[in-house]
Structure 1
Amino acid sequence: MILEQARSVTPWRWVLRGVGVVVTVACLVAVGRFVWPQPDVGEQPDGTFRQLSFLRGAIHDGADKEAQGLFPEGYVFVNALYGIAWVQAGLNDPAHRGQALRESRWALDRLESGAAKAVFDSRLVPAYGVFWAGWTNWLRGGVVLLDGGADAELVRQFEEGSAGIAAAFTGSTTPFLQAYPGQAWPVDSTVAIASLRLHDHLRGARFGAVVARWLDDVRGRLDPATGLLPHEVSWADGSVADGARATSQTMIHRFLPEIDADFARSQYTAFRQQFLAYPGGFGPGLREYPHGRAGKGDVDSGPLVAGISLSATVVGMGAARVNGDRELARALGSEGELLGLPLTLPGSKRYALGLVPIGDAFIVWSSTARLLTASTPPARDYGIRWWWRIPWLLFIGALAIAPWVRSIFSRSSPSRP
């Protein structure tokens, strides 16, 4: 009987050992990804075009429509980020410029489609609201930049879209236009103003006065608690309805350097001081709410982990790149390779096993981020904790040896007679 019990236990012992081997190997792979050097702020990851390949297939299979079911801007975001990522990648790597032009034009066509406009109100000023108008015009300008203005019809559309946005700001009593009837978020207006700066960069000075007025008005309507642009405002007078939050701040800081370098630098410094965190010694990560303020996650931020917004942390990588924050950009990139569960195949790369393609869109947009209206910003030493990797490595090490702890102790204990 004892012999039969031993035989029945042995197969399970080998199964457990096999699981232990898998866990340990996975941890070793994770460590390799984690410590592998990340690109500088003027470079882009080697896997960029594999990421874009996966995302193209996902959009073809309906990923943008699925994202629309998650939140109202899902369809626009997936296509806009895909197209802009191709613009950035094509500028970073001229060998792919032709493909970048084709793919970004394809994404622009989808942004201008009825499906993209369906949830927005055509009666708003600008038409369909500042969110749709700003992102579409930014991508449109990026395509003009890629093809050097060779497409006269596209240039005309860019001129027309920019003029419509400028007229909307000129006729508004606040610097924050409506994205939906009765609702306004400063981040949307920031994207639209950046598209005007891109216009003047490509087509000659025309909207400088509109941009200057916007900057003056914004400085008078900052969140008094943080000194930063607020998350949400009253559409009627631009007063603060919800203070600064990382979900919108990280995107704002992706575009502010395109508008005004000095204002962007002061805002980014203040943002970093109030939102960068190391919960439990792990990090760096970006809090959804500034230090000293608690809050819950929502459809914008996603679920919060120890106060950290994962979505804002992803977008924060792009903000760090365009602000010259080399160390933070690299650290966030390393954490993404560790926690994002990347799956790399010969022709594609996806995160979270490809289950949430809109997340892949934000990642590739952020990891290729670069300025379109100026050259790469000089690297600045904002500083992060020098030992930030150590807690992660200790945690991964503990996971790697956990399957073998019992075996190690049993071998080291005295044998029974």
Structure 2
Amino acid sequence: MGKIVRVLLAALVSAFAASALLRFHAPVSGAERQLAHLRAELDDGAGEDAQRLFPEGYFFLHALYGLAWVDVGRHARDKGEAVREIRWALDRLDSPDGTAPFSAGLAPRYGVFYAGWTNWLRGGLLSLRRDPDQVRRFESGSREIARAFDASATPFLPAYPGQSWPVDSTVAIASLRLSPDHAGTVRAWVDKARQRLDPATGLLPHVTDPGTGEPLQGARGSSQSVILRFLADVDPGFAREQYLRFRDLFVDSPLHLGPAVREYPKGTDGPGDVDSGPLPLGISFSATVVSIGAARVNGDGALADALAAYGELAGVPINTWHTKRYALGVLPIGDAFLVWANTAPDRATGIDGGVSPLWKAPLTVALLLLAAAPWSRRLRKRRHQQTDRPDEGLVVEPVVPERL
């Protein structure tokens, strides 16, 4: 019985390593199945559960679900399902649960975080199908956002009373680029933002003074990964400058096992929080995931593919005929960030990610050794048994010396 158990355990270890090796080398797929899993989770209350874990959990989960459908819908022959699901997500964002964490007294209403992400999602819907009511709401939202930026001395509007994160304003400005009516506001924003970069890194800061826009906390990976996803739509030249600095300062290779994204610049460390998650070896899993999309829209396909391969390896996805989920599906917001990142459009801008074509070799060798390890001891033992076994049935004739 014990021998059978050992063989079964060896087979399981080998199967796990082989499966990991296949995921590591296969292209990422299954966005619609992942969205099917997320929709089922949202219908089962995942948004409310996320709100208990994150300040904007309900909002983010629905917004990312809708945005992933925008990217999927762009490649779909029949856009009906994507349009229907995006409208459903927008209805949830407009609901009392969607607006609950935010202040209606801010300009724009509910703050720049809420206004920017909602306007960007509505613009994405209109890129798939024109709808008079949604056009009216998008144009109204865009005017409100533009007025708030035009009236502000700082390019970084508050998301909450007295609190300002540049990433939120970047999303809102990107939504204005979807319309030709606010080009002046966008140009003014870029000029002001360039004057308020983090002096230590030359990147947009993580937190700023809501009155002046001056940096209060330097650049961090969890916000840079989102900023760079949207900055490419605001000003491609500025985005390229920022992206190249980000890649030099934040993309690392812990233990020389391939690229990942730090929360703090190389040479510095800091505490993790709700945005970054835990920081083993300084690496932020959330920043690494979101940087897949940032790399794609900035033309760094090599880095995007490498980061995505890690997601498939470490996330241990479970596939069925209809769904796909990562990490056993215990954290739907993680699935939402992954599908949004993996569906980002590829843009060829000539950026060389500097990722060696052999970067997968160490982990590939490690997985092959793991697959073989359970059997190597058994093979050695069998070989020794064959060597040590006395010969059976062999008659040795005595040697008789020839007579001289």
Q: TM-score, normalised by structure 2?
A: 0.93
Alignment of 1:66-81 (within 5 A): 66-81=49-64
Matched-pair contact (CA < 8 Å) for 1:27–1:399: yes
Q: Distance in 1 between matches of 2:218 and 2:367?
A: 37
The question of whether the paired residues in 2 share the 8 Å contact of 1:326 and 1:379 is answered with no
Matches within 5 A, 1:17-416: 17-36=7-26, 38=27, 45-93=28-76, 95-147=77-129, 149=130, 151-198=131-178, 200=179, 205-370=180-345, 376-413=347-384, 415=388
- Residue deviations 1:199-236 (CA, integer Å, cap 9, x gap): x1xxxx21111111100010000001110001111112
Relative distance call for 1:77 and 1:265 in structure 2 (3 A) is: same
Q: Separation in 2 of the partners of 1:79 and 1:192?
A: 17
Name the amino acid aligned to 1:381: D
SS in 2 for 1:102: helix
Structure 2: which 5+ residue stretches go unaligned? Answer: 391-404
The separation in 1 between residues aligned to 2:7 and 2:162, in whole angstroms, is 60
| Structure 1 spans left out of the alignment, 5+ residues | 1-10, 39-44
> Which amino acid is 1:173 matched to?
A
Q: Distance in 2 between matches of 1:110 and 1:135?
A: 13
SS in 2 for 1:206: helix
Q: Which amino acid aligns with 1:16?
A: R
Sequence identity of aligned pairs in percent?
52
Structure number with bigger Rg? 2
Deviation at 1:107, TM superposition (A): 0.4
Task: Report deviation, 1:173.
Answer: 1.0
Opposite residue 64 of structure 2, the aligned amino acid is: L
Q: Which moved more, 1:26-35 or 1:74-83?
A: 26-35
SS in 1 for 2:79: helix
Shift of 1:385: 2.6
Deviations 1:80-136 (A, max 9, x none): 00001101110022x241110000000010011110110111111111111111100
Partner of 1:5 in structure 2?
Answer: none
Between the aligned partners of 2:358 and 2:271, the Cα distance in structure 1 is 29
- Quick one: distance in 2 between partners of 1:134 and 1:264? 18
Counterpart of 1:15 in structure 2 is: 5
Name the amino acid aligned to 1:299: V
Helix, strand or coil for the counterpart of 1:238?
A: coil
Distance 2:124 2:358 in 1: 39
SS of 1:70's partner is coil
Instruction: Quote how far apart the aligned CAs of 1:410 are.
Output: 2.5
Aligned-residue offset at 1:412: 4.1
Give secondary structure in 2 for the equivalent of 1:306: helix
Distance in 2 (CA, whole Å) between partners of 1:408 and 1:293 is: 48
Q: What's the offset of the Cα at 1:390?
A: 1.4
Provide the residue aligned with 1:41 in structure 2. none
RMSD between aligned residues: 1.5
Aligned counterparts of 2:268 and 2:78: Cα–Cα separation in 1: 45
Task: Report the CA distance between 1:13 and its aligned residue.
Answer: 2.4
Distance 1:145 1:104 in 2: 12
How far apart, CA to CA, are the structure 1 residues paired with 2:304 and 2:78? 24
* TM-score, normalised by the number of residues in structure 1: 0.90
Find the counterpart in structure 2 of residue 4 from structure 1: none
Contact 1:320 1:328 in 2 (8 A): yes
- Residue 125 of structure 1 aligns to which amino acid in structure 2? A
Partners of 2:147 and 2:263 in 1: CA distance: 33
